[in-house]
Chains A and B, each alone.
Chain A
Amino acid sequence: MSKRYTKDHEWVRMEGDVAIVGISAYAAEQLGDVVYVELPGVNKEIARGADMAVVESAKAASDVYAPIAGSVVEVNEALNEMPQLVNEQAEKDGWFVKLRPTNNTDVLNLMSEAEYAEYVKGLG
């Protein structure tokens, strides 16, 4: 399945019954050099729109929200040593969290890639 996006610039990709979540390449570019990512604990239950992670650029800290409700099954430990993966491969190896969705259909409410591209274009 292709990726889905939120207005807050998170992406979600379903892999089987697990949702892989990160921030978009556009968001990573806006943040600039990512120097630290604070990830949630495994098994944590997170509501849709709740704080899921914090991404710190050289300049500032930004909250990352859960695009869908779910429980954390895995976090990207590689970001501890290489936070720059968020800049280099935001929508691949720079993923943040794998969630087990509370509702499997939630992800369908998010923007498609084409819709997100259009949305970002509108941000100027």
Chain B
Amino acid sequence: MNAAGPLKKLSLDALWRARAKKFGAFAGYDMPLEFEGLVAEHQWTRAHAGLFDVSHMGPCFFALPKGHGLEGEAAHAAIASLIEQLVPADIVGLGAGQVRYTTLLNADGGVLDDLMIARPAEPGAAGDLYIVVNAGCKGEDWALIEASTRERAHLVRADDRALLALQGPEAVSALCAAIPEHAGALDAMQFMNVARYETERFGRLTITRSGYTGEDGFELLVRAEHAQAIAEALLADARVKPIGLGARDSLRLEAGLCLYGHDLDETTSPIEAGLAWTIQKRRREAGDFPGAARILRELKEGPGRRRVGIRPIEKAPAREGVEIFAGDERIGVVTSGGFSPMLGAPISMGYVASAHAKPGVRVDLLVRGQKRPAEIVALPFQPHRYVRKS
């Protein structure tokens, strides 16, 4: 998935290097893996607020050509229809200021990547979408989007900016303290809202109330020249600590969220992955997305395999690649596994034949040649705590 060659550095490399205990390569970037320690960082994020540098990811703006002459809903419908050729979510029906999680699909309904698509709220941004794809896939994703929409829209990559995630129950208060002039608006944002803020100290920020930890939180796109100022302002807050990629992974696993290339790949469909909720009614009825034949069939008849949560009964973690058995029958494989700091126990996710994909079903995990008992459980392992005001 990653091109060989020298590792790319984050624009905040020096800031993290002064604080991190461990760095390592991920998706072609030299990333901070651990600061204080994975478990401590994980627990801090669940109790307070963690600051993650996710600038390796692929933020971009996808927009109608200049002078498109369309306004408001018509402009949005035009750009949304273009991206809908590649994803099964209802993007045309996305409200201004809303974000949707979806998947890029191949012709067989397999997942090429998972991504966020946001419709900016600002009237001047009609006809723009803000899209964030995964680090390891961004080159291919952007090429695919450009190839299938050429001349009707253009894609501007924004991965020269910094993308920071502030996650945890105290994220909102810390962010409001750092950007007091917009505290009211930031506090009023709900889960999966997007808004743009002009700030004196940090320039223009594109902020979504979203994240990948299961906690309330925000993701901030900031120009590289302002990245250090906002990171330092947030880190100066006693509620905020820097968090490495290690804890980012354990947090998303506890939250039952998929990691592309592990829990999702070109062979898995969104239905197998338990992501049927990401395909809205209008698109199901129209069946006008890649791989619709397979996906609609799986929606109707049920898929052959499903993504499930797994709790080993004993203490050995069952990691990616561990085979899952029911008696002598191999019924599936673990796609992510490790240790849950909140449960103090090992947890895994994986795919099993649908007949076994029910909470309470006992299975065996083949770890180091030995079958070890485990139980299928509902996801997530930790309840999500997203902010949805009514």
Contact = CB atoms under 8 A, between A and B. Distances in A.
Interface of A: 32-33, 35-36, 38, 54, 56-61, 80
B317 A61 contact: yes
A104 B317 CA distance: 36
A58 B250 contact: yes
B319 interface: yes
Interface of B: 22, 34, 37-39, 42, 246, 250, 315-317, 319, 338-339, 341, 346, 368
Nearest to A37: B315
A119 B87 CA distance: 53
Contact of B38 (A36, A38, A58): A58
29 contacts: A32-B22, A32-B37, A32-B38, A32-B246, A33-B37, A33-B38, A33-B339, A35-B39, A35-B317, A35-B339, A35-B346, A36-B315, A36-B346, A38-B368, A54-B368, A56-B316, A56-B339, A57-B38, A58-B38, A58-B39, A58-B246, A58-B250, A58-B338, A58-B339, A59-B38, A59-B246, A59-B338, A60-B319, A80-B315
B349 to A, nearest CB: 16
B339 A32 contact: no
B316 A36 contact: yes
Contacts of A61: 317, 319
Contacts of A60: 319
A92 B306 CA distance: 46
Contact of A36 (B22, B37, B42, B339): B339
Contacts, number: 40
B341 A58 contact: yes
A31 to B, nearest CB: 10
Given A33-B339, A57-B38, A59-B338, 13 more contacts: A32-B38, A32-B246, A33-B37, A35-B317, A36-B316, A36-B317, A38-B316, A58-B38, A58-B246, A58-B250, A58-B341, A61-B319, A80-B315
Contacts of B339: 33, 35-36, 56, 58
A56 B312 CA distance: 15
A61 B334 CA distance: 15
B317 A32 contact: no
B305 to A, nearest CB: 25
Across the A-B interface, the 8 shortest Cβ-Cβ residue pairs: A35-B339, A33-B39, A58-B38, A58-B339, A36-B315, A33-B38, A56-B317, A59-B246
A82 to B, nearest CB: 12
Nearest to B344: A35
A33 to B, nearest CB: 4
B20 to A, nearest CB: 12
Contacts of A56: 316-317, 339
A33 B244 CA distance: 14
B293 to A, nearest CB: 40
Contacts of A38: 316, 368
